[in-house]
Amino acid sequence: MEAKTESVKNESVKEFENLLKEDFKKRDLKEGNIIKATVSEIGKKHIFVDLKAKSEGIIPIEEFKISKELQNLKIGSKIEVYLERIESFKGEIIVSREKARRMSSWKKMEKAFQSQQEVEGVITNKIKGGMVVNIDSCLCFLPGSQIDTKPLRNVDDLMNVPLKFLCVKLDKARGNIVVSRRAILEKTKNEDLEKILSKIKEGDIVEGQVKAILDWGAFLDLNGADALLHVTDLSYSRVKKTSDLLSVGQKVKCKIIKIDPETKRISCGIKQMHADPYKDLDKKYKVDKMYKGIVTKCVDYGAFVKLEEGLEGLVHQSELSWTKKNIQTNKVLSPSQEIQVKIIELDMEKKRISLSYKQTLENPWNSFLKKSPVGSVIETKVESIADFGLFVSLENSELVGMIHYKDISWNESERNLDKFKKNDVVKAKILEFDKKKEKIRLGMKQLGKDPFAYFLNKNNGDVVTATVKEVLKNGIKVFVGKEESSLFTIKKSDLAKEIENCRPEIFNKGNKVDCMIIGLDKEKRKVSLSIKELEIQNEKIAIKKYGKGGTSSGQMLGDILGKVLGSNKNKKTNKKKSKEEK
């Protein structure tokens, strides 16, 4: 009996095990899989789910709050959960709603990556190099270069807003997903571009708005399509900079000159809307003749003047005013102003017209020189003082001349500039006029006599009489003739032949002294005088006249003169004796 009961028990146990295995097979409870579960209880901190297992699964309520799923959750709701372990060391089933959501979203991202479908997500925060995007609880990386088609300084407007993205990279091993918003924008832009290109063709005249200006051209917005306007297609005239003719936001009409079907690039031009005005231009316009024009734009280096539709010339800054060389253009001319201009150059090859505004006005230099020719003495006013001279206004006019510091005084010293200040009134003589450069040179020293004129007919070795003006420790200052302003210094060593007689204190102011010219440089206007050299020359003359042996025997002038004087005395005494004897 016992044997029978044991066999029956074993059979029943085996039968129960088989039934249990079949039941588990139907339930499909495998670790690492996503399974369906039913919400059985909603607690304050946990959600209990029925997995048709030996016990219920427990999920923290926070996993439902992240996705805002809790508010729609109720008992009996069917949800998907991720089975981490069928039985823990406590005998509990470990499941996760968040991991199930991530796994399902990962599978969706894999499908979206393979099929290149758009996905919707939210930018949650910024990180180094880009942004973090949450797509159905799957955190993806959005590089900074893929946020928009152009660099954005501020991306705060895109944060926490549902946006469309495209999955561009998926690394399952590392669990990394890279998405792009730029690809979506470019795709949309291309679709819009196709619509725009279907409505326009080459040769059409359209209106566009300037988006960006570069050195070699500008980009225009043609109702959503970008078009390139090259600098050479702006005007038949030569254009140095695009910004000289266009500005950002400006609306312009242009002609479609090319549409590339492969790259879908649009090229347009403004000058193509008009006939080439430079064709047979020399027949219509002549150099040195005046024409009417309208100022279109003022720039730093001049003004553009329209002579006719599509034909412009440049009035350079130097051709604005006769008197002011670096004057600002907008101080003379203004846009839309109608003026007379004179054509000074026509370059057909370079398609360039040079104009002059000042040549249509009376030249104040000509009228001034008629009134005050070279050699005239005029009254001037100091405008500014430079290191090399004075700039003066000529007789209360806008004309400016220059007085070089060498033309202020005959001593030609730079220190003479310190005697003047702005607005001082000075008389000057017109010395020179350069008609090409429009420059006038004046002088103040030319109003008086040249003190050096006394020496123009003199040479080295000539003897002159000088007057002592001042006694110094190292010499004396003298002037020659009547010009007391021109002083010359005789050094102490040149005051006498004998060293003991080289004493400046033996001279007094007003003394007349004879001296010899020993250094005369007429170009540099320099003179050196010496009393010593005159004494030496006088001694040589005396020796030559009264005795040949004077120089060879080493005798001095006093010795020779003593002998002569002695012989004369002897003759006188002999005559007296003969008279007495008689």
pTM, rounded to two decimals:
0.40
Placement of tokens 């203004």 in the chain: 334
In whole angstroms, what is the distance from residue 274 CA to residue 272 CA? 5
Placement of tokens 């002011």 in the chain: 324
In whole angstroms, what is the distance from residue 10 CA to residue 2 CA? 12
pLDDT at 87: 66
| DSSP string covering 192-222 | HHHHHHTT--TT-EEEEEEEEEETTEEEEEE
pLDDT at 551: 45
The whole-angstrom distance between residue 248's C-alpha and the CA centroid of its chain comes to 21
pLDDT at 554: 41
Using left for φ > 0, alpha for ψ between -120 and 50, and beta otherwise, residue 209 falls in: beta
**Residues 98/137, Cβ–Cβ less than 8 Å:** yes
How far the first Cα of the chain sits from its last, in Å, is 219
| DSSP string covering 313-328 | EEEEGGGS-SS-TT--
Q: Which amino acid, residue 395? A: E
**Residues 216/231, Cβ–Cβ less than 8 Å:** yes
**Residues 243/213, Cβ–Cβ less than 8 Å:** yes
pLDDT at 221: 86
Sorted by where each starts, the structural domains of the chain and their CATH numbers stand as: 34-115 (2.40.50.140), 116-186 (2.40.50.140), 200-273 (2.40.50.140), 281-360 (2.40.50.140), 364-447 (2.40.50.140), 451-541 (2.40.50.140)
pLDDT at 316: 92
In whole angstroms, what is the distance from residue 302 CA to residue 299 CA? 5
pLDDT < 70 positions in the chain: 1-10, 16-17, 19-32, 54, 65-68, 87-91, 237-238, 396, 485, 547-582
In whole angstroms, what is the distance from residue 178 CA to residue 546 CA? 122
pLDDT tens readout for residues 117-142: 888 889 988 888 899 998 877 888 99
In whole angstroms, what is the distance from residue 217 CA to residue 247 CA? 11
User: For 475, phi and psi rounded to 5 degrees?
Assistant: 155, -160
pLDDT at 574: 53
In whole angstroms, what is the distance from residue 76 CA to residue 431 CA? 114
